[in-house]
């Protein structure tokens, strides 16, 4: 189990390691003379086949913000993104709904908000067991070693799946590994099962059996998503740059719908996959354009925050029940943690 003080210790170390960096603005660089454009925009991305990789591949941000240096930094989990945000290393990042639910809660209280939903997680995040284990149901996992990145959406989904099946967490050995390490441990035969996301998931499924997917858990009320988080300092200082960023993300979703071949090719280049495999993985996610994100079930509006806040609050309450979070903040904390106003500013009318 990872206690909050362990994550705080990691944050303190990260702050110490980055303390020598000099910044003159929330964007991480000297002023450009243009109040609408930061000198730098530092983005934390993950290898997830959604619109963010299309924006990166097509260099749309670089073209839309020619006076800003765009710095892309890869992370393996939302927990790492939380640490980087607290350390002041990035301005915008991708984190799953479970890490964001933790990030907005004490003791972290990370000063960021959610202006965009990268994707609603579906079949791209699943629990897979080795075929030779003979396990065919969740109940059969008792006594097995299961790997997942702690404090991630996969970790949350694993706990939810076990609880729903009546399998005590104490009856299994849950191991904290990042996706690349999960693949290596699977290859060595060190683990029996794993709850993880693509592209590592796709490799495990070649020799494993899928027991449950996050899409199936969503149908049971345990919805997970990949969210954008932006520091309050950046959003306040550079609202026009944030609007530009949001517009590129919407452009990527629309490309998936209008020219899936081009979208899959862009993702394939970023993940070093065939276009066919990238297209298949893309189909496992639910992508939402700007108009859909403003609906009541998602971000909602500034006047009436949407269902995402309720989902984050429910996740926090579940994590408290599992002993992974000490206290769940009230719903208002999560309503304040989502940022539909930024979306409305980027897409007026």
Which pTM value belongs to this model? 0.87
Q: Cα–Cα distance between 182 and 172 in angstroms, integer?
A: 17
Which residues have a Cβ under 8 Å from the Cβ of 189 and sit 6 or more positions away? 130
C-alpha closest to that of 231 among 108, 69, 96, 114: 114
Percent above pLDDT 90 for the chain: 86
Q: What is the pLDDT of residues 65-101, one digit of tens each?
A: 999 999 999 999 999 999 999 999 999 999 999 999 9
Report pLDDT for 23: 34
Report pLDDT for 29: 40
Q: What is the pLDDT of residues 181-194, one digit of tens each?
A: 999 999 999 999 99
> What percentage of the chain's residues is helix, strand, coil (to nearest 5)?
50, 20, 35
Three-state SS at 193: strand
| First-last CA distance in the chain | 47
Averaged confidence pLDDT in the chain: 90
Adjacent-strand bridge partners of 194: 128, 147
Domain range 125-219, CATH architecture: 3-Layer(aba) Sandwich (3.40)
The CB-side HSE value for 75 (13 A sphere, CA atoms) comes to 23
Report pLDDT for 324: 86
> Which regions of the chain carry the CATH code 3.40.190.10?
4-121+224-346, 125-219
**Beta strands 125-130; 208-213: pairing state:** antiparallel
Q: What is the pLDDT of residues 147-164, one digit of tens each?
A: 999 989 999 999 999 999
Report pLDDT for 33: 47
4-121+224-346, which class in CATH? alpha beta
**DSSP string spanning 165-180?**
HT--GGGSEEEE--HH
**58-92 burial, b for 16+ CB within 10 Å, e for fewer?**
bebbbebbeebebbeeebbbbbbbbbbbbbbbbbb
């Amino acid at each position: 189990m990872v206690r909050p003080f362990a994550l705080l210790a990691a944050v303190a170390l990260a702050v110490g390691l980055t303390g020598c960096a000099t910044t003159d603005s929330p964007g991480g660089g000297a002023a450009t003379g243009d109040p609408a454009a930061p000198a730098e925009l530092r983005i934390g991305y993950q290898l997830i086949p959604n619109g963010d990789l299309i924006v990166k591949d097509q260099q749309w941000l670089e073209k839309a913000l020619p006076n800003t240096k765009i710095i892309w930094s890869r992370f393996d989990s939302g927990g790492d993104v939380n640490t980087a945000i607290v350390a002041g290393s990035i301005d915008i990042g991708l984190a799953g709904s479970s890490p964001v639910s933790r990030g907005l809660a004490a003791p972290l209280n990370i000063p960021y908000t959610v202006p965009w939903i990268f994707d609603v997680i579906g079949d791209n995040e699943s629990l897979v067991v080795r075929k030779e284990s003979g396990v065919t149901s969740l109940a059969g996992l008792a006594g097995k070693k299961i790997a997942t990145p702690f404090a991630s959406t996969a970790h949350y989904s694993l706990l939810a799946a076990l609880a729903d099946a009546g399998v005590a967490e104490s009856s299994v050995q849950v191991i904290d590994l990042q996706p690349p390490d999960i693949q290596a441990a699977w290859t060595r035969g060190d683990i029996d099962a794993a709850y993880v996301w693509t592209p590592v998931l796709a490799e495990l499924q070649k020799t494993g059996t899928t027991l449950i997917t996050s899409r199936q858990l969503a149908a049971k009320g345990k919805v997970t998503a990949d969210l954008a988080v932006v520091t309050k300092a950046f959003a306040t200082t550079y609202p026009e740059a944030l609007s530009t960023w949001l517009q590129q993300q919407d452009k990527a979703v629309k490309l998936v719908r209008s020219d899936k071949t081009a979208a899959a090719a862009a993702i394939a280049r970023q993940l070093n996959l065939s276009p066919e495999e990238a297209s298949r993985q893309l189909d496992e996610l639910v992508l939402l354009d700007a108009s859909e994100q403003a609906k009541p079930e998602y971000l909602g509006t500034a006047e009436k925050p949407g269902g995402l806040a309720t989902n984050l609050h429910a996740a926090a309450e579940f994590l408290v029940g599992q002993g992974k979070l000490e206290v769940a903040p009230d719903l208002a904390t999560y309503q304040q943690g989502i940022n539909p106003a930024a979306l409305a500013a980027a897409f007026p009318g």
